Structure 1
Amino acid sequence: MDAEPEYIRNMLLDVLSSEEALACDAVLLSGGLDTSIASEAVKLHIDNRDDSKLRTAITLTIDPQQNSLANSNNLFVQEPQDVVYARRIAHRLCLEHHILTPTLDELLAGEALDMCVRVLGTFDGMELRNAVVIATALMQAKKLGCTRVLTGDGADELFAGYSFMHSMNDDDLPRYTKNMVKTMSFCAFPLAADLGIKVWSPFLDPRVVEYATSDRGGLKSIKVGEFDGSVHGKLVLRKAFPEVISAARKKEPIECGSGTTVLPKLAELLVSDSTFQQEKREALEKYDLVVRDKEHLLYFRRFRAAVLDSPEALARMKRYGPDDTCPDCKFRLKDGSSFCNVCGLYPARPISK
């Protein structure tokens, strides 16, 4: 094994032998590389692994046959793949595997979506398509009596898991990664806190963050390259744990792996053009806020009830500040960010070159 993969392998095995890791009693098992490494390392490679409390895996997948409207309009290009890999991992590790198969209607009108909108303070479609999967899984963990949940958060941000990072050079990628560390956030943490449980990710350990942003571990050649015949991000992680089931799996966003990627297309079928135009106009006139498409409208309805029509909730969010506000929704932008976490507008401020 090369020096860098061996270095990060030993580091992660050390992180995953910590009390925080061994206290995790469930894993949100997407079946991607990150949760594959985290769960398989805890169960198969750590000395005294019997001390680990990890017994439960939770995976959410959309059944293409459950929604007649989506099915009849051929919205599903392929079956969601998370469950395919997650089944193999759970079986290998002898985990009690809970596969959640909510309908699309339940995700668009259920308790999990309401919690996401309320807790995260957003009606951004990209965020909610992913967050509703996490929220549904965390709610199941709570029902099962789990108290500390293992995730793979942070690996994509730190190790160039996103495809747009692959074209960056050895000067731009470390700079971008360091900036991302300053602003990155993960919905699992506030959602879990709202439920009274905790989440933990080995990739957010300070030692891993320091390595991934250092001169030693920050180079593109460490993070992006060929593995098993294809070019991947997170190369050093794949080389460090070539034996895990998802070592060669391509990166898929949560919405693709779980199947919620069809929600924008479903919204187009659920909302008529006349209704969209009417409610879009009302949102602008009454709330001074831009609704951009039909999926956005479905989430805005929830946001309106949870935030805009609630004086207490609205008071907690900064709107109409003197500067740094989103032109579409008028909520305060995060310092240094060109992305609006509330409505999802990008760019919400000019991008400096």
Structure 2
Amino acid sequence: MYSSEQILYHYTKDVRILQRSVRARKGNLCLDYVRAPPSAKIVECRQLLQTVLREIRDRFPDGIDAILLSGGLDTSILCEASDQDFAVVKDDTFMTILLDKKGKARPILRFRHALTVQADPTAQDAIFAANIFNRLENVSLEQHHVLRVTLDALLKNSSEVARLLCTCDPMELRNSLVIYEALRAAANRGVKHLVTGDAADEVFCGYSFYHGMTEEALSKYRERITATMEFTTAKLAKELGIEVISPYLDARIVEFSKNLCKSDMIGERTPVPRDGEQGVHGKLILRQAFPESFSQWRAKEPIEAGSGTTRLRLGYFDSHWTEEEFAEQQRFVFREHGVYIRDREHLYFFQAFLRAFNGGLTNVPRRRFNESTQVVEPHGQEETMDSPNVFCPGCGFELSHPKQDFCVTCGCWPTCISPTNDTQGYATQALAKLKSEKERLLQH
């Protein structure tokens, strides 16, 4: 398979572009802009994130304790972003970035530890992270720890993580168990502050479901998600005495992203597009702004895929309960606790959640609407002016925000019908099905 550089060279007929490509290759420069210079928005994006990273560097002049290194685009940029501006090459007009990590491409931030979790030997995070470490070893990264663990070992922390996050949402726990493992390892190494790539996907449209949205729908959804987004790393880290630094959550970056349109954030790989599943990328402007990052064009993978915990939702718990046993447990949990259990994985994490709160949901510090009595139970949390007063139809617990269409307690989606989640009637159908299922479970 030809590399992007080979394709760019062999299929270019413009002699000037060919000459630039040769010069860039010889000078260890990126080839991203041998055809055309970066847009003003790309330049602004680079300068803004560089400013944020410099401020972090100045706050920690001796280096930062650690980074949670997934090896994805977001953490690759945080590890590798350099101080360089897009420079005009002498005797020509094309702009470029040097790639020599010991020269002008030396990263802004320095780290003592980088931590990557691998729960499956085929999971890709560890591979990408190792490549990044190889580029930065003895430059800006001192040690890379690949934490190879089994799924059973991760699951031993289920109740603790469920308690800390107040959740039994399988998707959340599938990802957060990985984060907690990395944070525990960091704490054991004396880490007091670490960097994460949280919020880049939300702020710069990293998720694939953004791709099919219209400009208007995308704008509305982003407004909703930036108002309600929460990240578990800080909650888990606080318990371990670790400060979390999330550059993409900087208010200036969030505000900058609000002025971007869909084509700025979602589009084809540049300067050489690719067909197939990897043809379209989210976070496009970040990829274009930091060509020195190893994972510049790595496809988006959620934590569960990159670390290997995806297997938890692919039949891992099938042997725990037969069909009859699961049906019995599903009915029991709904009648006894008023929570709708969707599948075996959800049942496993609900049981861990229940243990975390001493076997009773009244111990969960979150207001809850009791469907039987039609009363809101305070659970030690008094109503305030900021209380959302909106409750999940799947578990009854209060949502974290009035606009939240996803329950952070049980993982139910949708919790309501909104202009962005019901464009094709999915939310209406899902809520109707949930109502029918709850009625079924109450029947004798």
* Bin for the TM-score computed over the shorter chain: 0.7 to 0.9
Alpha-carbon distance between aligned partners in 2 of 1:47 and 1:196, rounded to the nearest angstrom: 35
Question: Could you tell me which residue of structure 2 aligns to residue 70 of structure 1?
Answer: none
Aligned sequence identity (%): 41
Alpha-carbon distance between aligned partners in 2 of 1:49 and 1:25, rounded to the nearest angstrom: 18
Alpha-carbon distance between aligned partners in 1 of 2:251 and 2:244, rounded to the nearest angstrom: 16
Question: Could you tell me which residue of structure 2 aligns to residue 283 of structure 1?
Answer: 333
TM-score by length of 2: 0.70
Query: Secondary structure of the residue that 2:244 maps to in structure 1?
Result: strand
Q: CA offsets per residue over residues 9-28 of structure 1, 9 Å max, x none? A: 11111111113675331010
1:174 CA drift (Å): 2.6
Letter paired with 2:127:
V
TM-score by length of 1: 0.88
1:304 pairs with one of 333, 338, 354: 354
1:117 aligns with 2:162: yes
Q: Which deviates more from structure 2 when the two are superposed, residues 187-196 or residues 277-286?
A: 277-286
Is contact 2:80–2:108 with CA below 8 Å preserved after alignment? no
Question: Could you tell me which residue of structure 1 aligns to residue 192 of structure 2?
Answer: 147
Question: Could you tell me which residue of structure 1 aligns to residue 118 of structure 2?
Answer: 61
Query: Secondary structure of the residue that 1:55 maps to in structure 2?
Result: strand
Is contact 2:392–2:415 with CA below 8 Å preserved after alignment? yes
Question: Could you tell me which residue of structure 1 aligns to residue 372 of structure 2?
Answer: none
Letter paired with 1:336:
K
1:2 pairs with one of 15, 36, 39: 39
Q: Relative contact order: is structure 1 or structure 2 higher (C-alpha 8 Å, sep ≥ 6)?
A: 1
Structure 2 vs 1, CA of residues 21 and 343 (structure 1 numbering), >3 Å: closer, same or farther? farther
2:298 pairs with one of 249, 263, 270: 249
1:101-140 matches, cutoff 5 A? 101-108=148-155, 110-111=156-157, 113-140=158-185
Query: Secondary structure of the residue that 2:54 maps to in structure 1?
Result: coil
1:40 CA drift (Å): 1.2
Q: CA offsets per residue over residues 108-167 of structure 1, 9 Å max, x none? A: 2x13x2232001111111111111111111111111111111111111101110111112
Question: Could you tell me which residue of structure 2 aligns to residue 328 of structure 1?
Answer: 394
Query: Secondary structure of the residue that 2:412 maps to in structure 1?
Result: coil
Question: Could you tell me which residue of structure 2 aligns to residue 168 of structure 1?
Answer: 213
1:205-220 matches, cutoff 5 A? 205-214=250-259, 218-220=260-262
Question: Could you tell me which residue of structure 2 aligns to residue 75 of structure 1?
Answer: none
Question: Could you tell me which residue of structure 2 aligns to residue 233 of structure 1?
Answer: 282
1:41 aligns with 2:91: no
Letter paired with 1:83:
A
Query: Secondary structure of the residue that 1:25 maps to in structure 2?
Result: strand
Q: Which deviates more from structure 2 when the two are superposed, residues 22-31 or residues 176-185?
A: 22-31
Aligned residues: 333
Alpha-carbon distance between aligned partners in 2 of 1:181 and 1:51, rounded to the nearest angstrom: 27
Alpha-carbon distance between aligned partners in 2 of 1:262 and 1:115, rounded to the nearest angstrom: 21
Structure 2 vs 1, CA of residues 249 and 22 (structure 1 numbering), >3 Å: closer, same or farther? farther
| Larger Rg belongs to | 2
1:274 CA drift (Å): 3.4
Structure 1 stretches of at least 4 aligned residues deviating more than 6 Å after TM superposition: 45-51
Is contact 2:82–2:107 with CA below 8 Å preserved after alignment? no
Question: Could you tell me which residue of structure 2 aligns to residue 86 of structure 1?
Answer: 129
More helix by share: 1
1:63-78 matches, cutoff 5 A? 63-64=120-121
Is contact 2:68–2:115 with CA below 8 Å preserved after alignment? yes
Q: CA offsets per residue over residues 254-296 of structure 1, 9 Å max, x none? A: 1111110000221113333333223222212221222111001
Query: Secondary structure of the residue that 1:26 maps to in structure 2?
Result: strand
Structure 2 vs 1, CA of residues 165 and 194 (structure 1 numbering), >3 Å: closer, same or farther? same
Alpha-carbon distance between aligned partners in 1 of 2:361 and 2:343, rounded to the nearest angstrom: 26
Alpha-carbon distance between aligned partners in 1 of 2:308 and 2:107, rounded to the nearest angstrom: 34
1:189 aligns with 2:239: no
Question: Could you tell me which residue of structure 2 aligns to residue 76 of structure 1?
Answer: none
Is contact 2:67–2:113 with CA below 8 Å preserved after alignment? yes
Structure 2 vs 1, CA of residues 2 and 295 (structure 1 numbering), >3 Å: closer, same or farther? same
Alpha-carbon distance between aligned partners in 1 of 2:334 and 2:361, rounded to the nearest angstrom: 19
Question: Could you tell me which residue of structure 2 aligns to residue 31 of structure 1?
Answer: 71
1:300 CA drift (Å): 0.7
Q: Which 5+ residue runs of structure 1 have no aligned equivalent?
A: 65-78
1:198 aligns with 2:198: no
Letter paired with 1:7:
E
Alpha-carbon distance between aligned partners in 2 of 1:326 and 1:200, rounded to the nearest angstrom: 31
Query: Secondary structure of the residue that 1:97 maps to in structure 2?
Result: strand
Structure 2 vs 1, CA of residues 45 and 27 (structure 1 numbering), >3 Å: closer, same or farther? farther
Is contact 1:306–1:313 with CA below 8 Å preserved after alignment? no
Structure 2 vs 1, CA of residues 167 and 186 (structure 1 numbering), >3 Å: closer, same or farther? same
Q: CA offsets per residue over residues 70-120 of structure 1, 9 Å max, x none? A: xxxxxxxxx211111000111211131111111111122x13x22320011
Q: CA RMSD in A?
A: 2.4
Alpha-carbon distance between aligned partners in 1 of 2:189 and 2:80, rounded to the nearest angstrom: 21
Alpha-carbon distance between aligned partners in 1 of 2:287 and 2:144, rounded to the nearest angstrom: 24
1:6 CA drift (Å): 1.2
Q: CA offsets per residue over residues 188-231 of structure 1, 9 Å max, x none? A: 010111111111111111110110012xxx20111011114221
Is contact 1:13–1:46 with CA below 8 Å preserved after alignment? no
Structure 2 vs 1, CA of residues 158 and 31 (structure 1 numbering), >3 Å: closer, same or farther? same
